[in-house]
């Protein structure tokens, strides 16, 4: 199975901060990769697909980069509604696997 | 607006069965592969199963293979998950998720005696 190692597991940040979350795959997954945001009690929401393509309707402060084994989600200026848990997902091979999640909290 | 709604969750005894459904509206359901993803209480996301657009290819996480069956009915815009031989560790919120990125709101499955 492909392991997805996400870091950090949590972070504290202030409104307006630039935030970066990283995911590393245990083998080359090309760009078969996405980022998801989940708020408590809600379904996950896809932010980024194909590693760097912004899902329709998602604010442009979110961006994704990377290919192969290293991927990054950047929030350029954190907003109050961005406090949530973020997950990465690889869909290059079965079983699909998620990262462990990064909880973004208010500093 | 694209919407997917799950149903069929509830309380089941260990060894019992449940059938989850997910009905999609307002998008081309048959054009996308579909997935079931679950989330145990307080835990992260776990992919469970995938089915391709015409239902001919199905994949499962090891922990459910042989117990769960994914299926779809494109004429009804519906996705299903038949869950047999349920275990306590299957307790989770189950989400359906389209290859387009759309997710349902989830349905809670609790396995307990």
The pLDDT tens digits of the residues spanning A8-20 come to 999 999 999 999 9
Contact present, A88 and A6 (Cβ < 8 Å): yes
What tens digit of pLDDT does each residue of B80-107 get?
999 999 999 999 999 999 999 999 999 9
Chain A residues near residue B46 by CB distance under 8 angstroms: 98
CB within 8 A of A57, min separation 6: which ones? Answer: none
pLDDT at A2 over 80: yes
Rounded to 5°, angle at Cα B10 from B8 and B16: 95
Would you call B61 and A95 a contact, using CB atoms and an 8 Å cutoff? yes
Would you call B101 and A100 a contact, using CB atoms and an 8 Å cutoff? no
Give the Cα separation of A96 and A85 in Å (integer).
Answer: 19
Q: Long-range contacts: B66-73, Cβ < 8 Å, 24+?
A: B68/B36, B70/B34, B70/B36, B72/B34
Smallest CA-to-CA distance from B20 within B1, B31, B34 is with B34
Q: What number is the average pLDDT over the span A76-83?
A: 96
Chain A residues near residue B97 by CB distance under 8 angstroms: 44
Would you call A44 and B95 a contact, using CB atoms and an 8 Å cutoff? yes
Output the tens digit of pLDDT for each of chain B's 113 residues. 679 999 999 999 999 999 999 999 966 899 999 999 999 999 999 999 999 999 999 999 999 999 999 999 999 999 999 999 999 999 999 999 999 999 999 999 999 99
Give the Cα separation of A73 and B16 in Å (integer).
Answer: 41
Chain B contact for A3, CB < 8 A? no
CB within 8 A of A23, min separation 6: which ones? Answer: A4, A5, A6, A7, A33, A66, A70, A71, A72, A73, A88, A99
Give the Cα separation of B93 and B88 in Å (integer).
Answer: 13
Give the Cα separation of A78 and B98 in Å (integer).
Answer: 28
Give the Cα separation of B112 and A25 in Å (integer).
Answer: 35
pLDDT at B15: 98
Q: What is the DSSP letter of B74?
A: G
């Amino acid at each position: 199975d492909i392991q997805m190692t996400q870091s950090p597991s949590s972070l504290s940040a202030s409104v307006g901060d630039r935030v970066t979350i990283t995911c590393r795959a245990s083998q080359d997954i090309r760009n078969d990769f996405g980022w998801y945001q989940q708020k408590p009690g809600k379904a996950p929401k896809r932010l980024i697909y194909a590693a760097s393509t912004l899902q329709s309707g998602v604010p442009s402060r979110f961006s994704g980069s990377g290919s192969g084994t290293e991927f990054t989600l950047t929030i350029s200026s954190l907003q109050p509604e961005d406090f949530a848990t973020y997950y990465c997902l690889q869909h290059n091979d079965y079983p699909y696997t998620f990262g462990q999640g990064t909880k973004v909290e208010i500093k | 607006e694209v919407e997917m709604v799950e149903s069929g969750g509830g309380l089941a005894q260990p060894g019992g069965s449940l059938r989850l459904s997910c009905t999609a509206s307002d998008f081309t359901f048959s054009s996308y592969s579909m997935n079931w993803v679950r989330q145990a209480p307080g835990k992260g996301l776990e992919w469970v199963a995938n089915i391709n657009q015409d239902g001919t290819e199905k994949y499962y996480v090891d922990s459910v293979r042989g117990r769960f069956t994914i299926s779809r009915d494109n004429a009804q815009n519906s996705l299903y998950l038949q869950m047999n031989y349920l275990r306590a560790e299957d307790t989770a919120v189950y989400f359906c998720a389209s290859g387009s990125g759309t997710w349902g709101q989830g349905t809670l499955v609790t396995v307990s005696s």
